[in-house]
């Protein structure tokens, strides 16, 4: 019943938000200089970011490309900068946006390799030369820009390269270069790279990485290749080895079209239905969410089990009469609890387990297990301290050994005290797994992000994801409440 209420409220918020659009008053700028005094959304760490940073007086808002239309529509940013090709392919003109000017930051993109991987780079350059010579390159470019949907079908029909030397490729999802279509990775870059792998005998494995983390991941050997329409700049060229140019482009600046009217006559339910279709039904996008949910559940469950084990162990060590062991454990617990869990996750992924090539999910389970183990240990300890000395003495005096007293008397009593506090920690764990996107894990939150970058509709996926998290929290909370009621029948 309570759940139903929450969902109703959120649905209303969703409907209201979808309709919240205001027409701008400001005139459209025609050059970079005219952006002074305005808030402009750029991709964090991109060349646009570097360029615009040199202009004083421009408020930069560093977000991901997929969030730009939303940022502009909601008024958080007045203008945004993205690749002109992205603007065109996404047909943003039809969604109430207008290009202000373009042609800035003309640049070229290359595939990036580690400096020492010259042979792979040469292979790629050879492949590219061959494609251009045969005229395949022009066809590839034209078809993807003009009719991406049919290209998706064509790409999907082509056999996926499986044999050969394994390459891990770091990607960021931006339509039309790389995106999910019917649960499969697709897009012009994926198409190009798969063709290369087929021709030269490589076995690709794609891994989603946040754009700013791409180069560090490459140098940390987490990935072998960066395939993210990354622009060639002298600074980057010092850190990585770029292939020949395979894409050219320029940036455009856009804002809301002055004449665009929010009222399109479809009403709240019509818009909701439209969002539902676009974000879930089209291209079976709900499967992405379902897959993400499964990953979130997997990480939550295994982290929880690991955290309980670690928590119990730390609690045991912390409660040893030996002062040295006890205080060393306390220092450890305080240290782990003092670090934000996101930082622990990043350290585990990029530093501690950097050379082990463990999957993101495994690293996430270790990180959450460790962090919440430290949190749980203090919850457990508080529960154990609540069991009076007299209870232990009475058990011992009757002839029970320590383990029996613990199992039959102390633990059941401590459990009663632990469960209500534990519930909050478990819910916190489930919700905190949403940060695993940082280590290239495709969980529920990331799945929502992917849908957003593709449909450029932020509200619906975000709120849908929220609702799923609320339901997860309610279910786990409900289970623990049931346990609590079983332990405390008097309540």
Partner 1 sequence: MITVKHVSKVFRKGDQEITVLRDVNCEIAKGEVIGIIGPSGTGKSTFLRCLNRLEEPSGGHIEIDGVDLMDRMADVNLLRRKMGMVFQNFNLFEHLTILDNITLCPRTLLGRSREEAEAKAMELLQLVGLYEKAGSLPEELSGGQKQRAAIARCLAMEPEIILFDEPTSALDPTMVSEVLVVIRRLASEGMTMAIVSHEMQFIRNVSTRIFFMNEGVIYEEGTPEQIFEHPRRPATIAFINRIRTIEFILADKHFDLYGLFGEVGVFCTKYGLGNDMQTKVQHVLEEMLCEILPFCGPVNLTLDYSEKDYTLRIDFVQEGCTDPILETVPEDSLSLKLIHGMSASLCETAPGSIHVEM
List interacting residues with partner 1 (CB under 8 A).
Answer: 388, 390-391, 393-401, 404, 408-409, 412-413, 416, 487, 490
- Closer to partner 1 by Cβ: residue 333 or 414: 414
Q: Nearest 5°: CA angle at 296, between 295 and 299?
A: 85
Task: Name the nearest CA neighbour of 193 among 251, 243, 145.
Answer: 243
Structure tokens that stand for 339 in this block: 């670090």
Q: Is 195 in contact with 157 (CB distance < 8 Å)?
A: no
- Closer to partner 1 by Cβ: residue 222 or 417: 417
- Closer to partner 1 by Cβ: residue 36 or 401: 401
- Closer to partner 1 by Cβ: residue 141 or 411: 411
- Closer to partner 1 by Cβ: residue 239 or 488: 488
CA distance 156 to 169: 19
Find the shortest distance in angstroms from Cβ 318 to partner 1.
22
Find the shortest distance in angstroms from Cβ 436 to partner 1.
39
CA distance 208 to 6: 33
- Closer to partner 1 by Cβ: residue 107 or 395: 395
- Closer to partner 1 by Cβ: residue 270 or 388: 388
Task: Name the nearest CA neighbour of 88 among 252, 284, 267.
Answer: 252
Find the shortest distance in angstroms from Cβ 402 to partner 1.
9
- Closer to partner 1 by Cβ: residue 31 or 391: 391
Find the shortest distance in angstroms from Cβ 409 to partner 1.
5
According to the 3-state scheme, what is the secondary structure of the chain? CHHHHHHHHHHHHHHHHHCCCCCCCCCCCCCHHHHCCCEEEEECCCHHHHHHHCCCCCEEEEECHHHHHHHHHCCCCCEEEEEHHHHHHCCHHHHCEEEEEEEEEEEEEEEEECCCCHHHHHHHHHHHHHHHHHCHHHHHHHHHHHCHHHHHHHHHHCCCCCCCEEEEEEECCECCCEEEECCEEECHHHHHHHHHHHHHCEEEEEEECCHHHHHHHHHCCCCCEECCCCECCHHHHHHCEEEEEEEEEEEEEEEECCCCCCCCCCHHHHHHHHHHHHHHHHHHHHHHHHHHHHHHHHHHHHHHHHHHHHHHHHHHHHCCCCHHHHHHHHHHHHHHHHCCHHHHHHHHHHHHCCCCCCCHHHHHHHHHHHHHHHHHHHHHHHHHHCCCHHHHHHHHHCCCCHHHHHHHHHHHHHHHHHHHHHHHHHHHHHHHHHHHHHHCCCCHHHHHHHHHHHHCCCHHHHHHHHHHHHHHHHHHHHHHHHHHHHHCCCC
Find the shortest distance in angstroms from Cβ 386 to partner 1.
10
Find the shortest distance in angstroms from Cβ 416 to partner 1.
7
Find the shortest distance in angstroms from Cβ 424 to partner 1.
23
- Closer to partner 1 by Cβ: residue 324 or 397: 397
CA distance 349 to 210: 13
Question: 489 — phi, psi (to 5°)?
Answer: -60, -20
Question: 39 — phi, psi (to 5°)?
Answer: -95, 125
Find the shortest distance in angstroms from Cβ 489 to partner 1.
9
- Closer to partner 1 by Cβ: residue 182 or 404: 404
- Closer to partner 1 by Cβ: residue 28 or 415: 415
Find the shortest distance in angstroms from Cβ 486 to partner 1.
12
Find the shortest distance in angstroms from Cβ 412 to partner 1.
5
Find the shortest distance in angstroms from Cβ 391 to partner 1.
6
Q: Is 11 in contact with 271 (CB distance < 8 Å)?
A: no
Structure tokens that stand for 270 in this block: 């019509």
Find the shortest distance in angstroms from Cβ 377 to partner 1.
22
Find the shortest distance in angstroms from Cβ 478 to partner 1.
23
- Closer to partner 1 by Cβ: residue 262 or 394: 394
- Closer to partner 1 by Cβ: residue 254 or 380: 380
């Amino acid at each position: 019943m309570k759940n139903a209420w929450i969902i109703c409220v959120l649905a209303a918020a969703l409907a209201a938000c979808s309709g919240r659009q205001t027409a701008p008053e400001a005139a459209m700028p025609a050059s970079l200089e005219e952006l002074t005094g305005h808030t402009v959304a750029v991709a964090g760490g991109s060349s646009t970011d570097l360029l615009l940073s040199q202009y004083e007086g421009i408020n930069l808002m560093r977000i991901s490309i997929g969030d730009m239309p939303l940022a502009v529509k909601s008024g958080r940013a007045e203008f945004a900068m993205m690749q002109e090709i992205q603007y065109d392919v996404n047909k943003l003109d039809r969604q109430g946006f207008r290009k202000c000017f373009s042609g800035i930051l003309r640049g070229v993109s290359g595939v990036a390799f580690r400096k020492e991987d010259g042979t792979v780079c040469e292979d790629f350059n050879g492949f590219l030369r061959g494609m251009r010579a045969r005229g395949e390159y022009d066809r590839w470019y034209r078809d993807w820009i003009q009719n991406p949907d049919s290209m998706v079908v064509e790409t999907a029909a082509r056999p996926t390269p499986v044999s050969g030397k394994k390459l891990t490729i770091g990607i960021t999802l931006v339509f039309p270069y790389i995106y999910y279509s019917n649960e499969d990775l697709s897009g012009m870059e994926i198409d190009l790279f798969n063709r290369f792998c087929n021709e030269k005998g490589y076995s690709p494995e794609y891994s989603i990485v946040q754009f700013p983390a791409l180069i560090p991941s490459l140098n940390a050997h987490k990935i072998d290749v960066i395939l993210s329409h990354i622009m060639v700049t002298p600074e980057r060229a010092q850190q990585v080895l770029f292939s020949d140019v395979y894409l050219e482009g320029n940036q455009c600046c856009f804002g809301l079209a002055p004449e665009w009217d929010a009222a399109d006559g479809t009403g709240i339910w019509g818009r909701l239905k439209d969002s539902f279709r676009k974000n879930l039904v089209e291209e079976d996008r709900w499967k992405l969410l379902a897959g993400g949910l499964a990953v979130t559940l997997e990480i939550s469950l295994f982290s929880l089990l690991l955290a309980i084990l670690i928590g119990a162990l730390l609690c045991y060590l912390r409660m040893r009469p030996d002062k040295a062991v006890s205080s060393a454990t306390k220092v450890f617990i305080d240290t782990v609890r003092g670090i934000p869990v996101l930082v622990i996750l990043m350290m585990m992924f990029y530093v501690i387990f950097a050379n082990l090539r463990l999957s993101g999910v495994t690293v996430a389970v270790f990180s959450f297990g460790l962090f919440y183990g430290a949190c749980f240990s203090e919850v457990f300890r508080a529960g154990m301290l609540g069991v009076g000395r007299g209870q232990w003495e009475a058990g011992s005096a009757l002839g029970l050994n320590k383990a029996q007293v613990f199992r039959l008397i102390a633990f059941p009593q401590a459990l009663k005290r632990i469960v209500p506090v534990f519930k909050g920690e478990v819910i916190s764990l489930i919700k905190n797994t949403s940060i695993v996107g940082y280590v290239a894990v495709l969980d529920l939150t990331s799945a929502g992000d992917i849908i957003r970058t593709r449909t450029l509709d932020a509200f619906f996926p975000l709120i849908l994801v929220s609702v799923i998290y609320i339901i997860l929290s309610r279910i786990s909370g409900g289970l623990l409440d049931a346990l609590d009621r079983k332990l405390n029948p008097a309540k």
